[in-house]
Structures are given as structure tokens and as C-alpha cells.
Amino acid sequence: MKKIKPTESELEILQVLWQKGSATVREVHEVLSLHKESGYTTTLKLMQIMFEKGLVIRNDKSKTHIYQANVSKENTQQQLVGKMIHNLFGGSATALVIQALGSNKPNKDEIDAIQHLLNDLKKAE
């Protein structure tokens, strides 16, 4: 399995690609622009670099290239979360969970979803 560590900016772009499936530079840039001040060519350059790194693939049959993520969301999340659990929470996923829930409160539906997952884990013991 590939061992790549995307930078913060690259993760923002990957998120758009994961969500949309595929997108042009402009489409990605427009999403990023909602939260961020930066030029079009900056996004373009980043995506070109990501292409060189193998983080994304692209279809350049037409003039306007169409990009797709080349790393899975789940895989990337798992890798980075695992690292954080180990590095910052002494290996305890629970400590991370409690920290996350404490500072960023879920709504009722989300609480239900987590509780449901916990019940499944309990049964599986």
C-alpha cells in the first residue's frame, strides 16, 4: 500500500474530489474559494503537484483536465487517525473520541448513530 502523507492543502483538495468523484481544477477551486482566499493558479499548481506525486489521476483527453483522487478516503483517514492516536493519545482511541466529542458536539441523530455503533461493539465482545 502506498505510503503518502498529503499536506493540509492537498487534503482540502482531496476532500472535494472524494465528495464529487471527479472534478476539474476550476470546480475544485470554486469549492475551496468558499472558505479560502487564493488564486486559481495556486489550486492548479497544487493539483499538478498532486498528480506528480500520484495522489490524483487525471483525464487529459480534452483540454480541460478532469481529476480524480487516487487514494481512498477511508485509507487516508485511518492512516492519519491511527498516527494521531498513537502520537498524541497514548494509543487510546477512546481518549481521542472523548476529546473530539467534548469540543465539537454532535446533534441528536449523530449521538444516536454513535450509540448504535457502540452497542454493536459491545455485543461483539
Partner DNA sequence: ATTTTTGTACGATCTAATTCGTAAGCAATT
Partner DNA sequence: AATTGCTTACGAATTAGATCGTACAAAAAT
Interacting residues toward a copy of itself by CB under 8 A: 8, 11-12, 15, 19, 74, 76-78, 80-85, 87-90, 92-94, 96-108, 110-111, 113-115, 117-118, 121-122, 124-125
Residues 38-67: x where in contact with DNA by CB under 7 A, - otherwise, as a string = xxxxx-xxx-xx----------x--xxx--
- When CB distances are held under 5 to 8 angstroms depending on the partner's kind, the choice from a copy of itself, DNA, none that residue 122 binds is a copy of itself
Q: Which residues contact 11 (CB under 8 A, 6 or more apart)?
A: 76
- When CB distances are held under 5 to 8 angstroms depending on the partner's kind, the choice from a copy of itself, DNA, none that residue 2 binds is none
Look up residue 93 and give its three cell numbers.
482511541
25 interacts with DNA by CB under 7 A: yes
Are the beta carbons of 48 and 62 closer than 8 angstroms? Answer: no
H or E element: which one contains 30?
helix 25-33
Q: Quote the CA–CA distance of 85 and 102 in Å, as a whole number.
A: 16
83 interacts with DNA by CB under 7 A: no
Handedness of CA 18, 20, 22, 23 (dihedral sign): negative
Q: Give the interface with DNA as residue ranges (CB under 7 A).
A: 5, 7-10, 24-26, 36-42, 44-46, 48-49, 60, 63-65
